[in-house]
Amino acid sequence: MDAETLVTDAARAAKRAQPQLARLYRDRKDTVLLAMADALVARADEITAANALDLAAADASGMAAGLRDRLALDPQRVASIAQQLRDAAALPDPVGEVIRGSVLANGLELREVRVPLGVVGMVYEARPNVTVDAAGLALKSGNAVVLRGGSAALHSNTALIAVLRSVLAEHGLPEDLVVGIDEHGREGVDVLMRARGLVDVLIPRGGAGLIRRVVENSLVPVIETGTGNTHVLVDASADLDQAEAIVLNAKTQRIGVCNALETLLVHRGIAEQALPRLGTALVGAGVTLHADPAAREILATAGVESTEAEPADWDTEYLALDLAVAVVEDLDAALEHIREHSTGHTESILTRDLPSQQRFLAEVDSAVVMANASTRFADGGEFGFGAEIGISTQKLHARGPMGLTELTTGKWIVVGQGHVRP
Amino acid sequence: MDAETLVTDAARAAKRAQPQLARLYRDRKDTVLLAMADALVARADEITAANALDLAAADASGMAAGLRDRLALDPQRVASIAQQLRDAAALPDPVGEVIRGSVLANGLELREVRVPLGVVGMVYEARPNVTVDAAGLALKSGNAVVLRGGSAALHSNTALIAVLRSVLAEHGLPEDLVVGIDEHGREGVDVLMRARGLVDVLIPRGGAGLIRRVVENSLVPVIETGTGNTHVLVDASADLDQAEAIVLNAKTQRIGVCNALETLLVHRGIAEQALPRLGTALVGAGVTLHADPAAREILATAGVESTEAEPADWDTEYLALDLAVAVVEDLDAALEHIREHSTGHTESILTRDLPSQQRFLAEVDSAVVMANASTRFADGGEFGFGAEIGISTQKLHARGPMGLTELTTGKWIVVGQGHVRP
């Protein structure tokens, strides 16, 4: 059979299986998640053996070291993947929450309750830990999940999914609550994107190219995640000790993530003091500064090296030890720069001036806006969600870090006693 | 210039104008809405004169009576359109609501606040009242709006939008908060659907064809509204007096609306008593019954006329005095029928049996699920939202009746005191 039929059948099987999960209460779901964690640890040999096949193929094809590292599994990593499931089990269950409720003037009882979305499709790149993490969060929130994790992780994902499915079966649940479609390659993604009515939402996680492809081609509703061209504004009144710590943290604490700093804006009124100090610290941490002429001049005077920023730098998510740097005349110019170049993920102002903070927080139209804090805090774990399925940069349904709640929807329940509309 | 450029420019102008509105508090917004209502009434002659041009074209093209009625304006209808704006002014402002908030363990202050979506695109059919209603709800919730209201209402919509824009200008606000693109025809809709990044959400309102076209072609996120293949199940334990009143109300109180009843399911255990009575009442009200063989037999024995249901009847939203009727063996069969044929809008069970009610409310996966009430209550006005922008049949972002709240999104505000991530 062709990929079209197979992937459609897989999605249909997930849709058919999901109501059985939707009816389970938290205790049953947590029991299954904990059993899955145990099974992953018990079958770690099988999983690492499958992973070795993927790694051999990766080595043969000359996969970049960073990607290979994300792909590789050993017993310790399998244990930490299992821990993600235990963590999911420990989270409160969003399903069943009464979001709103009232008795209408005519006596109708009205409640909006939280229910699972249904079938969640995840499209991501070769990171086997995402396979288990996404499955765990989907199951905990009552959703079936269709997983497409990148051909380079085919053997690893297949082994992981086999373990999860066998635990479902052991607990009397349909295996098709977790379905993998890696073997159908890119064509599988195309079919998934057309599976409107079978799949309730598609969540792409990965590079900008993958996300754009899904957003532009999917007939299934999509939650766009991830691209973070993140800005920090050092305002004229900033505390420079704090600014140095925050800018360094935001840029260098972890570089390959969407909440890392990519563009530093410095208010003209503090540029002469701030830039030499920040520039020295950043360059000392191995950062290449892509600076505009005003910033370059100040940096050069202080003996700090920089390269000339190209227009593209203002729109680049480096995910590397590179940073775009510009001097802005005032808050308005900073807001204008952000309006033009931000991807709507996270921006932070460093200031001691209340009106500046108020304007920045009110006027910057991003999922997360901060004052006097590192952009690295824009994270579901840091926000206390306990887990994160991704960071939404769109405005519909979910905005910012997405936890279990964002994998649910509402349902209106109306109870009458023979009510008719006059 | 071509439609591509003109519509893109219009959307861009709306996007540029929107931040000025986003910063206004409720009192300013309400003042503008009330002034718009006054201006519509004051300029009713101008509006009805424009409407007369549309009506003349409609008559020349032989527009159906129902559509012509929706298109027609007179001073009284203009006054009732103005009243919609006064009603919008009277509603609470969702913008600024703190949705969640806490202080994290590290002292970061975290708040999720409600903010406007940005630019809302509305695509609908030739109903001039929707032009003003949509504009009023969008403005009240801080959004700019791009309106495409159907070529048949071009003159009427142009006149209405001119009034709204002139009031915006009189109040020192950008006219481009309300933009009409009717003059660019269907091509304008195509451009709007590609305006990702300029338009934050597209809401199609109208026939199934229009909605499908937008859902399938839009790169801008869409909220799917409206199609209601609505079911009522008369359970074995139903109160027949209530059932007769509710079924009649749901089918005949207003027929051209998405929450009107389209398929009646009758439990085998009550079919012999219920069907003759319900059938007589429905046929007496002018309804044509499209019945399955089991229902036909019972109806025929009681002397109630019916026609044979075709397979397509189970999936038809008649929006007319027609009703599909089937006998179901039990609750499971009813749930299976609904799972297969429902559009996820509204279904209701009529029962006195608590376990049946519980299962129906839990297992039917629709935006609104009811017990012992007419499906006609699935309505934003009835739910107490005060206004309705449409009824969402999708699960992302909004499900069921959408009021002002559904025209907003969240934004995370994080305030630190020099916080860096360890």
pLDDT tens readout for residues B288-309: 999 999 999 999 999 999 999 9
Quickly count: other Cβ atoms within 10 Å of residue A326's Cβ: 23
Which one of A352, A357, A411 would you mutate to disrupt binding with B, by most B Cβ within 10 Å of its Cβ?
A411
Q: Which 3 state secondary structure label does DSSP give A171?
A: coil
B379: confidence class by pLDDT, cuts 50, 70, 90: very high
B306 lies in a domain?
yes
pLDDT of res. B388: 83
- A411–B367 CB contact, under 8 Å: yes
Has residue A71 got a pLDDT over 80? yes
Average model confidence (pLDDT) across chain B: 95
pTM: 0.91
Which of A23, A117, A418 has the CB atom closest to B246's CB atom? A418
- A420–B376 CB contact, under 8 Å: yes
Instruction: Compare B196 and A326 and report the one with higher pLDDT.
Output: A326
B286: confidence class by pLDDT, cuts 50, 70, 90: very high
CB-based contacts of A94-97 (< 8 A; 24+ apart in sequence) = A94/A141, A94/A404, A94/A405, A94/A407, A94/A408, A95/A22, A95/A26, A95/A141, A95/A142, A95/A408
A209: confidence class by pLDDT, cuts 50, 70, 90: confident
Average model confidence (pLDDT) across chain A: 95
| A&B contacts, CB < 8 Å | 210
Same domain, A267 and A411: no
Same domain, A146 and A244: no
**Distance to chain B for A373, nearest Cα, Å:** 5
Of A247-251, B50-54, B63-67, B306-310, least confident by mean pLDDT is B63-67
What is the arithmetic mean of pLDDT over A357-375? Answer: 97
What is the arithmetic mean of pLDDT over A195-216? Answer: 88
Query: Exposed (0-12), middle (13-18) or buried (19+): which is A6, by Cβ within 10 Å?
Result: middle
Has residue A239 got a pLDDT over 90? yes
Same domain, B61 and B162: yes
The tally of domains found in chain A comes to 2
Residue A84 corresponds to which tokens in the numbers above?
A: 């993600």
Which of B348, B401, B419 has the CB atom closest to A377's CB atom? B419
pLDDT of res. B3: 87
Has residue B210 got a pLDDT over 90? no
Which residues are registered as beta bridge partners of A38?
A: none
- A372–B415 CB contact, under 8 Å: yes
Same domain, B217 and B267: no
Query: What's the CATH number where A34 sits?
Result: 3.40.605.10
Q: Which 3 state secondary structure label does DSSP give A201?
A: strand
A422 lies in a domain?
no
- Of all residues in chain B, the one with the smallest CA distance to A357 is B415
B69/B322 Cα distance (integer angstroms)? 22
Same domain, A209 and A238: no
- A373–B108 CB contact, under 8 Å: yes
What is the arithmetic mean of pLDDT over B348-376? Answer: 97
Report pLDDT digits (tens) over B29-56. Answer: 999 999 999 999 999 999 999 999 999 9
Question: Which residues of chain A neighbour B409 with C-beta distances below 8 Å?
Answer: 395-396, 399
pLDDT of res. B325: 98
Q: Are strands B346-350 and B368-373 parallel, antiparallel or unpaired?
A: parallel
Question: Which residues of chain B neighbour A112 with C-beta distances below 8 Å?
Answer: 400
pLDDT of res. A315: 96
Closest C-alpha to A262, from A234, A298, A232, A238: A232
A421 lies in a domain?
no
pLDDT of res. A375: 98
**% chain A with pLDDT above 90:** 85
pLDDT of res. B207: 79
- A239–B361 CB contact, under 8 Å: no
Which one of B259, B395, B397, B413 would you mutate to disrupt binding with A, by most A Cβ within 10 Å of its Cβ?
B395
What is the arithmetic mean of pLDDT over B92-99? Answer: 95
- B373–A23 CB contact, under 8 Å: no
Same domain, B116 and B250: no
Same domain, A177 and A238: no
A386: confidence class by pLDDT, cuts 50, 70, 90: confident
A297: left (phi over 0), alpha (psi -120 to 50) or beta: alpha
A393 lies in a domain?
no
Report pLDDT digits (tens) over A289-338. Answer: 999 999 999 999 999 999 999 999 999 999 999 999 999 999 999 999 99
CA angle B90, B91, B97 (to 5 degrees): 140
Cβ-contact B25, B141 below 8 angstroms: no
Query: What's the CATH number where A277 sits?
Result: 3.40.309.10
A390 lies in a domain?
no
ipTM value of the model? 0.92
**Distance to chain A for B351, nearest Cα, Å:** 10
B387 lies in a domain?
no
Same domain, A283 and A175: no
What is the arithmetic mean of pLDDT over B142-169? Answer: 96
Has residue A242 got a pLDDT over 90? yes
Helices (H), B141-265: 154-170, 185-193, 208-217, 240-252
Question: Which residues of chain B neighbour A249 with C-beta distances below 8 Å?
Answer: 420-421
Report pLDDT digits (tens) over B157-173. Answer: 999 999 999 999 999 99
Of A208-217, B188-197, B266-275, B410-419, least confident by mean pLDDT is A208-217
Helices (H), A171-292: 185-193, 208-217, 240-252, 268-284
Residue A65 corresponds to which tokens in the numbers above?
A: 């070291």
**% chain B with pLDDT above 90:** 85
Of A70-79, A399-408, B12-21, B179-188, least confident by mean pLDDT is B179-188
Same domain, A137 and A205: yes
Same domain, B129 and B61: yes
Which one of B396, B402, B408 would you mutate to disrupt binding with A, by most A Cβ within 10 Å of its Cβ?
B396
Quickly count: other Cβ atoms within 10 Å of residue A170's Cβ: 12
Has residue B281 got a pLDDT over 90? yes
**% chain B with pLDDT above 70:** 100
Report pLDDT digits (tens) over A266-297. Answer: 999 999 999 999 999 999 999 999 999 999 99
B421 lies in a domain?
no
Parent domain of B110 = 3-224+398-415
Same domain, B197 and B345: no
- B421–A362 CB contact, under 8 Å: no
- B394–A221 CB contact, under 8 Å: yes
A348/A352 Cα distance (integer angstroms)? 13
A270/A267 Cα distance (integer angstroms)? 6
Same domain, B218 and B235: no
- Of all residues in chain A, the one with the smallest CA distance to B336 is A16
B108/B316 Cα distance (integer angstroms)? 54
Question: Which residues of chain B neighbour A200 with C-beta distances below 8 Å?
Answer: 395-396
pLDDT of res. A272: 98
- B372–A416 CB contact, under 8 Å: yes
B81 lies in a domain?
yes
Cβ-contact A401, A385 below 8 angstroms: yes
